[in-house]
Structure 1
Amino acid sequence: MTANVPSTDPAVYDSYQTKWSTLPGTPEAWLARAREVAQVLSQDAAQRDQENKSPQAEVALLKHSGLLKLLGPKKYGGGEQPLSLGYQAIREVAKADGSIGMLLGYHLLWSTTANLVGTPDQIERTHQLIISNNYFVGGAVNPRDSDLKITSDGDHLIFNGAKFFNTGGVVSDLTVLEGVLEDTNGDGNGGGHIFALIETRQDGVQFAHNWHNIGLRLTESGGVKIDNVRVPWTDALGWDAATKKPLDITSSQFAALFLPTIQLVFGNFYLGIALGALEFASKYTTTNTRPWPFGGGDKESATDEFYILERYGNFFAHLRATETLADQAGERLSTLYDKYSGAKRAELTAQDRGEVAEWVASVKVVTTDVGLRVTSGVFEVTGARATALKVGLDRFWRDIRTHTLHDPVAYKNRELGRYVLLREYPVPSWYT
């Protein structure tokens, strides 16, 4: 259950429920809606970051905007847009607020998890539940540690344990749980692992409210204790409720797209944060930064400084190239979803999966490198006064630095090296 913790007030965004009463009708209109959300968030992003309140209002804004429904089927009230557009929407929101861009990205992933590992019935029930109610979905999924155990009790599963990290759970309507069924190997490649969607607001879900990190402060990514949470066997995604055995889809190459899918979520909000930092810094430079008085030439403006022009140009070029790479990867992943969804999920080959995984790994490497470089480098072209807490320029670097430690990017570089030199595809795992 959620404790009484300081939260932002959803009422501040009530007017947008009427303003955005209908969903966008075209891909362009969806991206325009994402930019509108970003514009709203940008007005007080630095202040909200510093206050570090639970983002109840920000999630309400996402609900009002319709962005939570972007990927959902139209028959249940969704936008039915391709995954590639979802990635671009994440990027747009993250430009203004990295935390809320991350929450949107994780929601879009968790709300479509059944597409990857669920039965046809589970896919339909999940979409109808989430989209028709405009629910926000969080996730208590941290497979590095098998710290959530599952036991079987007749027609139900019982989850017990804890997760050191969960994302968005405190402000969610539904939470994805992932754990290991007792007496199974839980080998990290699907064996014994079960995903299930539960109602967040119940006595057995106890949040630690301990997310006090340097970045992504509004993501509610702290710990959660799960105490005797009961789930019908019929809600165990990709498992046969009668035999209590996993179906073939859970170990398929299509199910293994889950990891490239979430890694590309990461890359896109990294990229959005970096783009937002460049935009924010450029406005500051043109309005506040002063030329260096001892550099010669009696420059009248910071925009006359050679080194400032050179740095901005270099940052822009690298970010433009990174956007193109991210879009290409998103299109390739979307193509696999479209081609192999439904009854064709089992037809996806290891080669197809491996090729797209290496595109996504490339995005992860480049967005990490470029994102950290840009978000730290903008201070060199804004000046000493830009370090003032009230400016808020530091939040961009803090956000990227925090999440890029999710998994060591060195392993992605090694993975790509083996692909280049040995033509090896990565073996599907919880991080590849």
Structure 2
Amino acid sequence: MTITDTRPAGAATEARWITAPTTSAEWIDRAHEVAAILAVDAVARDRATEAPHEEVTLLKESGLVTILGPAEFGGGGQTWETAYQVIRAVAAADGSIGQLLGYHLLWFWAARLVGTKEQIAAVEQAATENTWFFGGAVNPRDNDVEITDEGDTIVYNGAKTFSTGSRVSDVTVLEGVLAGTDTHVFAIVPSNSEGLTFHDDWDNIGQRRTESGSVTIDHVRTDWSSAAGFANKAFEPRVYNTLNVPIIQLVFVNFYLGIARGALETAADYTRTTTRAWLHSTVDNALDEPYIIDLYGDLTAKLWAAEALADAVAVEQQRIHENAWTVTEHERGEHEVRVAAAKARATEVALEITSGIFEGLGARATASSHGFDRFWRNVRTHTLHDPVAYKRREVGRHVLTGELPQPTWYS
């Protein structure tokens, strides 16, 4: 499938955008422009099985892949507050591409999380100037990838069930454990590295175009200098190293809410133009049907509340980013509780909206040509990433006992 080109005739070979945004509001507007392009044939592309190379090209052309990159290297120089809004806007049109963008931005930030200051500078310059698109092979539910130390190089061996971004990525973040130790090592390698094999086996009901299939890692080599956060083969830990979970969980929150908003707005358009009032009602127009009015009012209020919580938590997280080298365990733990609350609420609201819209659409809207089911399939698929009950538990234990969650792969 191809992304429908909405540009005027004769402009197909020209760049869609000539200048880059400079403010947060302009970047969010740019994301909505991207979303409008993706929305045109979103239903058809959801049914396709091709890797989303054109969608990634669109993200690169728009500048969204380097929104967090330093401005001096051509990046957007924006904060995570803006990035989350951008993810939400893109996901409203296409949940798969919203997820790809969100995961990419986390891995783009990986050097900041665990790298040395020298590595951070080098990686962010290279990633921004070359518009790298990141994938990651870091599924913690699988066995650890084993790393062997071969002097100046380290060698990764193993496999991962999921590797979001795989075939459409330029670089891939690998993670494994040094043989005979409990030392975890992250490194960024080219996605076309010898021994790195992405398998075309992602066949799930939702988020169909996220390139999240399995990967085999067979003697993938990289220099010790690529080992994030290591100097002379020794790692110097800091609390900020553990912020990858709050960041990615808030990525989840925002593309869930983006999908929910896309579902609600698309459904409202259909209701305005197509839905009919029930034959036993006392009105002639669906827009005057009291049950439909109540439905949209209820779902919209819930969405607004969840979005407001997500935005507030993003503001709190930004303060941690600004104090990355001094953040305390207590500050990190309190923030994780807030992220957990936002994740629990976003999950429940997104599932309710993406299934509930059908009450305001009518039976004819279940025709596969409309593709309304894609919103629910996308949310239902990804919200199983980690059980939402455990997020509520983090919040509940903190409220009752003051306990703060300890950093794990999921908290």
SS at 2:15's partner residue?
Answer: helix
Look up the match of 1:392. 371
> What TM-score do you get using the length of structure 1 for normalisation?
0.92
For the pair 1:223 / 2:209, whether they are aligned, the reply is: no
Give yes or no for contact 1:21–1:64 (8 Å, CA) kept in 2: no
> In the aligned structure 2, how far is the partner of 1:368 from the partner of 1:214?
17
> In the aligned structure 1, how far is the partner of 2:206 from the partner of 2:83?
23
Look up the match of 1:189. none
Matches within 5 A, 1:161-240: 161-185=158-182, 192-240=183-231
Q: Tell me which amino acid in the other structure corresponds to 2:114.
A: V
For the pair 1:54 / 2:51, whether they are aligned, the reply is: yes
> In the aligned structure 1, how far is the partner of 2:350 from the partner of 2:49?
23
Look up the match of 2:255. 269
Change (3 A) 1:144 1:16: farther
Look up the match of 1:3. none
For the pair 1:318 / 2:318, whether they are aligned, the reply is: no
Give yes or no for contact 2:71–2:77 (8 Å, CA) kept in 1: yes
Quote the offset at 1:145 in angstroms: 2.2
Identity of aligned residues (%): 50
For the pair 1:78 / 2:75, whether they are aligned, the reply is: yes
Give yes or no for contact 1:150–1:158 (8 Å, CA) kept in 2: yes
Quote the offset at 1:359 in angstroms: 1.2
Q: Tell me which amino acid in the other structure corresponds to 1:214.
A: I
Over aligned residue pairs, what C-alpha RMSD do you find? 1.5
Change (3 A) 1:282 1:10: closer
Q: Tell me which amino acid in the other structure corresponds to 1:315.
A: L
Quote the offset at 1:53 in angstroms: 1.8
Quote the offset at 1:222 in angstroms: 0.5
Quote the offset at 1:9 in angstroms: 7.4
Match among 253, 263, 266 for residue 239 of structure 2? 253
User: CA-to-partner distance for each residue in 1:318-342, whole Å, 9 max, x for gaps?
Assistant: 101111100001111011101x13x
Quote the offset at 1:146 in angstroms: 2.7
For the pair 1:278 / 2:291, whether they are aligned, the reply is: no
User: CA-to-partner distance for each residue in 1:93-131, whole Å, 9 max, x for gaps?
Assistant: 000000000011011100011101100111011101110
> Tell me, which stretches of 5 or more residues in structure 2 are unaligned?
none
Matches within 5 A, 1:7-406: 8=2, 15=12, 18-185=15-182, 192-240=183-231, 242=232, 244-248=233-237, 252-295=238-281, 297=282, 299-338=283-322, 340-341=323-324, 345=325, 347-406=326-385
Quote the offset at 1:19 in angstroms: 2.7
> In the aligned structure 2, how far is the partner of 1:405 from the partner of 1:184?
31
SS at 1:195's partner residue?
Answer: strand
Following TM superposition, the consecutive aligned residue runs of length 4 or more in structure 1 with deviations greater than 6 angstroms are 9-14
> In the aligned structure 1, how far is the partner of 2:105 from the partner of 2:387?
24
> What TM-score do you get using the length of structure 2 for normalisation?
0.97
Give yes or no for contact 2:344–2:392 (8 Å, CA) kept in 1: yes
Change (3 A) 1:307 1:11: closer
